[in-house]
Structure 1
């Protein structure tokens, strides 16, 4: 496994440590998770599973089918 030296200020370190503790992870695990989330190149499976699960919006002809016929315009 490679190592990375990263210089950060104390405020940023405190934020990382607090976020990692809240997530129940070590700072290293939390940073790895953030990097993985931000560099993903494919859609998550939960998003892929949504495809085809909702109804398509109706076309304008279907929406207007019950409205009747338009009348002819007057000539100028």
Structure 2
């Protein structure tokens, strides 16, 4: 079995200020500008929740139901029929 992977190139025209921002952020992240841009594109086009978000499930207390919230308020007044 032969699997062929081809990489596409993307020509992106940006101004010098944007280029400097990309290079600075990529350097801070320890990545090349190409790696950083690829990471951003992958994050923005993800179809699944990131593991950091999935890990939040069940970590907070559920809000009480309306019946529980209103239990101490007493009974409603009987309403007349129409």
TM-score normalised per structure 1: 0.72
**How is 1:53-68 mapped onto 2 (pairs within 5 angstroms)?**
53-68=59-74
Gaps of 5+ in 2: 1-6
**Could you tell me which residue of structure 1 aligns to residue 3 of structure 2?**
none
Which secondary structure state, in structure 2, belongs to the residue aligned with residue 32 of structure 1? helix
- Report the aligned-residue RMSD: 2.0
Output the CA distance in 1 between the equivalents of 2:11 and 2:19.
13
Within the candidate set 51, 54, 57, 1:48 is matched to 54
Rounded Cα–Cα distance in structure 1 between residues aligned with 2:20 and 2:69: 56
Structure-2-length-normalised TM-score: 0.68
Q: Which has the higher contact order (CA 8 A, sep 6+)?
A: 1
Taking the aligned partners of 2:77 and 2:11, their CA distance within structure 1 comes to 75
Q: CA shift at 1:32, angstroms?
A: 0.7
